[in-house]
Structure 1
Amino acid sequence: MAAAAATKVTAAAAASAVFRSNKELTRLARSGQLAAARRLFDAMPLRNTVTYNAMLSALARHGRIDEARALFDGMPGRNTVSWNAMIAALSDHGRVADARSLFDRMPVRDEFSWTVMVSCYARGGDLELARDVLDRMPGDKCTACYNAMISGYAKNGRFDDAMKLLREMPAPDLVSWNSALAGLTQSGEMVRAVQFFDEMVKDMTSWNLMLAGFVRTGDLNAASSFFAKIESPNVISWVTLLNGYCRAGRIADARDLFDRMPERNVVAWNVMLDGYVHLSPIEEACKLFDEMPIKNSISWTTIISGLARAGKLQEAKDLLDKMSFNCVAAKTALMHGYLQRNMADDARRIFDGMEVHDTVCWNTMISGYVQCGILEEAMLLFQRMPNKDMVSWNTMIAGYAQDGQMHKAIGIFRRMNRRNTVSWNSVISGFVQNDRFVDALHHFMLMRRGTNRADWSTYASCLRACANLAVLHVGRQLHNLLVRSGHINDSFAGNALISTYAKCGRILEAKQIFDEMVYKDIVSWNALIDGYASNGQGTEAIAVFREMEANGVRPDEVTFVGILSACSHAGLIDEGLFFFYSMTKEYLLKPVAEHYACMVDLLGRAGKLNEAFELVQGMQIQPNAGVWGALLGACHMHKNHELAQLAAERLSELEPRKASNYVLLSNISAEAGKWDESEKARASIKEKGVNKPPGLAGST
Structure 2
Amino acid sequence: MQPKLISIAQMRTVVYNQNLQITRFAKSGRIDEAIRVFNNMNNRNTVTYNSMVSAYSKNGRLSEARRLFDAIPLKNSVSWNTMIAAYSHNGFAAEAAHLFERMPERDDFSWALMITCYARSGDLEKARRLFDRLPIKGRSQVCWNAMIAGYAKKRRFYEAERLLYEMPERDMVSWNSVLAGYTQNEEMVMGFGFFERMTERDVVSWNLLLDGFVRIGELDSAWEVFVRIPEPNVVSWVTMLNGFARNGLVVEARRLFDRMPERNLVSWNAMLAGYVQNLEIEEGFRLFEDMSERNAVSWTTIINGFVRVGKLERARELLDAMPYKDVAAQTALMSGYVRIMNMDEAHRIFDVIKSRDVVCWNVMIAGYAQCGRMDEAMHLFQAMPEKDMISWNTLISGFAQGGQMEEAIGIFEEMSERNTVSWNSLISGFTQNGFYMDSLRHFILMRREAKKPDWSTFACVLSACTNVAAFRVGEQLHSLATKRGFINDLFVANALITMYSKCGRISKARQVFSEMVVVDIVSWNSLIAGYAMNGNGRETLRIFSEMVKCGTNPDQVTFIGVLSACSHAGLVKEGVDLFESMTKDYSVQPTAEHYACMVHLLGRVGRLDEAYELVKEMPINANAGVWGALLWACRMHHNAELGRFCAEKLTEFEPRKTSNNVLLSNLHAEEGKWNEVERVRVSMEERGAHKQPGCSWIEVNNQVCSFLSDNLRQWRMSEILETLKALRIQMRDIDIKYAFSSHG
Fold similarity call, TM over 0.5: yes
Distance 1:473 1:573 in 2: 36
Kindly indicate whether residue 264 of structure 2 is the aligned counterpart of residue 265 of structure 1.
yes
Structure 1 Cα separation of the partners of residues 500 and 304 of structure 2: 44
Query: 1:295: Cα distance to partner?
Result: 2.4
Confirm or deny: 8 A CA contact 1:662 1:684 kept in the other structure.
no
Letter of the 2:156 counterpart:
R
Shift of 1:70: 5.9
Instruction: For residues 180-216 of structure 1, give each alpha carbon's deviation from its aligned partner in whole angstroms, at most 9, with x where no partner exists.
Output: 1111222223233333323321111111111111111
- Tell whether 2:179 aligns with 1:172: no
Between the aligned partners of 1:43 and 1:447, the Cα distance in structure 2 is 51
| Structure-1 separation of matches of 2:441 and 2:222 | 49
Residue 689 of structure 1, CA deviation: 3.0
Q: CA deviation at 1:21?
A: 7.3
Q: Tell me the CA shift for residue 470 of structure 1.
A: 0.8
**Distance change (3 Å), C-alpha of 1:18 and 1:679:** farther
CA spacing shift, 1:219–1:41, aligned 2, 3 Å: same
CA distance in 1, matches of 2:611, 2:582: 18
- The corresponding residue for 1:3 is none
Q: Which has the higher contact order (CA 8 A, sep 6+)?
A: 2
| CA displacement at 1:499 relative to structure 2 | 1.6
The answer to whether the 8 Å contact 2:439/2:461 transfers is yes
For residues 49-64 of structure 1, the aligned pairs below 5 Å read 49-50=46-47, 52-64=49-61
**Residue 211 of structure 1 contacts residue 227 of structure 1 at CA under 8 Å; is this kept in 2?**
yes
Cα pair distance change 1:583/1:17, threshold 3 Å: same
Can you give the 5+ residue segments of structure 2 that lack an aligned partner in the other structure?
695-708, 712-744
After superposition, the Cα gap between the structure-2 partners of 1:412 and 1:30, relative to the gap in structure 1 and judged at 3 Å, is same
Give the 5 Å matches for 1:532-611.
Answer: 532-611=531-610
Quote the residue 2:310 is aligned against.
311
Matched, 1:89 2:86: yes
**Cα displacement string for residues 432-465 of structure 1 (whole angstroms, at most 9, x for unaligned residues):** 1111101111111222222432211111111111
1:234–1:474 CA distance, 2 compared to 1 (3 A): same
Q: Distance in 2 between matches of 1:143 and 1:367?
A: 44
Residue 114 of structure 1: aligned partner: 111
Q: Indicate conservation of the 8 Å contact 2:118/2:127, yes or no.
A: yes
Partner of 2:389: 390
Q: Percent identity?
A: 57
Aligned partner of 2:443 in structure 1 is: 444
Could you say what the CA RMSD is over the residues aligned between the two structures, in angstroms?
3.1
Aligned residue pairs, count: 692
Q: Work out the CA distance in 2 between the residues paired with 1:578 and 1:76.
A: 87
Aligned counterpart, 1:683: 682
Check the 8 A contact 1:91/1:99 in 2, yes or no: yes
Query: Can you give the 5+ residue segments of structure 1 that lack an aligned partner in the other structure?
Result: 1-5
Partners of 2:661 and 2:70 in 1: CA distance: 68
Moved more, 21-30 or 513-522: 21-30
Secondary structure of 2:487 counterpart: helix
Indicate yes or no: 2:477 matched with 1:481: no
Q: Which letter maps to 1:162?
A: A
What does residue 155 of structure 1 align with? 153
Deviations 1:514-541 (A, max 9, x none): 2222332332222222221221122222
Secondary structure of 2:519's partner? coil
One-letter code of the match for 1:150? I
Distance (whole Å) between structure 2 residues aligned to residue 650 and residue 194 of structure 1: 71
Q: CA 1:599/1:124 → structure 2, altered by over 3 Å: closer, same or farther?
A: farther
Distance 1:632 1:247 in 2: 57
Contact 2:246 2:277 in 1 (8 A): no
Report the TM-score when normalising by structure 1: 0.90
- Going from structure 1 to structure 2, the CA distance change for 1:38 and 1:588 (only over 3 Å counts) comes to same
Aligned CA distance change for structure 1 residues 476 and 64 (closer, same or farther; 3 Å): farther
> Residues of 1 paired with 2:7 and 2:673: CA distance?
106
Matches within 5 A, 1:400-419: 400-419=399-418
Q: C-alpha separation between the residues in 2 aligned to 1:690 and 1:142?
A: 80
Pair 1:103 & 2:91 matched: no
2:182 maps to 1:184: yes
What does 1:307-456 correspond to in 2, within 5 Å? 307-456=306-455
TM-fit CA distance, 1:15: 8.9
Amino acid at match of 1:346: E
Q: Which residue identity lines up with residue 140 of structure 1 in the other structure? A: G
Residues 394-446 of structure 1: CA deviation (Å, up to 9, x unaligned): 22221222122222222222232322211111111011111110111111122
Partners of 1:599 and 1:73 in 2: CA distance = 75
Residues 260 and 16 from structure 1, CA distance in 2 versus in 1: closer, same or farther, beyond 3 angstroms?
A: closer
Q: What secondary structure sits across from 2:354 in the alignment?
A: coil
Contact 1:339-1:372 within 8 A present in 2 as well: no
Shift of 1:678: 2.9
1:500 Cα deviation after fit: 1.5
C-alpha distance 274-476 of structure 1, shift in aligned 2 (>3 A): same
The AA in structure 2 aligned to 1:249 is G
Structural mapping, 1:200-219, within 5 Å? 200=198, 201-219=200-218
Q: Could you tell me which amino acid in structure 2 is paired with residue 118 of structure 1?
A: I
CA 385–637 in structure 1, closer or farther in 2 if over 3 Å, else same: farther
Larger mean CA deviation between 399-408 and 14-23 belongs to 14-23
Q: Distance in 1 between matches of 2:6 and 2:294?
A: 46
- CA offsets, 1:68-116, max 9 Å, x none? 5566567666443343333333333333344344434443322122212
Q: Cα gap change, 1:299/1:668 in structure 2, threshold over 3 Å: closer, same or farther?
A: farther
* Distance 1:278-1:674 versus aligned 2 partners, 3 A rule: farther
Q: Which amino acid aligns with 1:107?
A: P
Instruction: Give, as a single letter, the amino acid of the residue that structure 1 aligns with 2:360.
Output: C
Q: Give the direction of change, closer, same or farther, for the CA distance of 1:74–1:561 in structure 2 (3 Å limit).
A: farther
> Deviation per CA, 1:252-273, whole angstroms, max 9, x where unpaired?
2122212222222222222222
- State the Cα distance separating 1:133 from its structure 2 match: 2.4
Deviation of residue 488 (structure 1)? 2.5
SS of the aligned residue for 2:586 comes to: coil
Residues 1:468 and 1:397: Cα distance change in structure 2 (over 3 Å): same
Contact 2:29/2:326 (<8 A) preserved: no
Stretch moving more, 509-518 or 62-71: 62-71
What is the aligned partner in structure 1 of residue 491 from structure 2? Answer: 492
Q: CA deviation at 1:177?
A: 1.2
What is the CA–CA distance in structure 2 between the aligned matches of 1:634 and 1:295, rounded to whole Å? 72
Output the CA distance in 2 between the equivalents of 1:520 and 1:513: 11
Letter in 2 for 1:590: Q
Equivalent residue number for residue 512 of structure 1: 511
Aligned to 1:647: 646
Cα pair 2:62 2:386 within 8 Å, conserved: no
Mapped contact 2:498–2:527 kept (Cα < 8 A): yes
How far apart are residue 391 of structure 1 and its match?
A: 1.7
How many Å separate the matches in 2 of 1:28 and 1:40? 10
Q: Secondary structure at the match of 1:601?
A: helix
Change (3 A) 1:86 1:541: farther
Following the alignment from structure 1 to structure 2, what is the Cα–Cα distance between the partners of residues 560 and 334? 42
What TM-score results when the alignment is normalised by the length of structure 2?
0.85
Which stretch of the first structure deviates more once superposed, 646-655 or 398-407?
646-655
CA contact (8 A) 1:52 1:75 kept: yes
Amino acid paired to 1:680: R
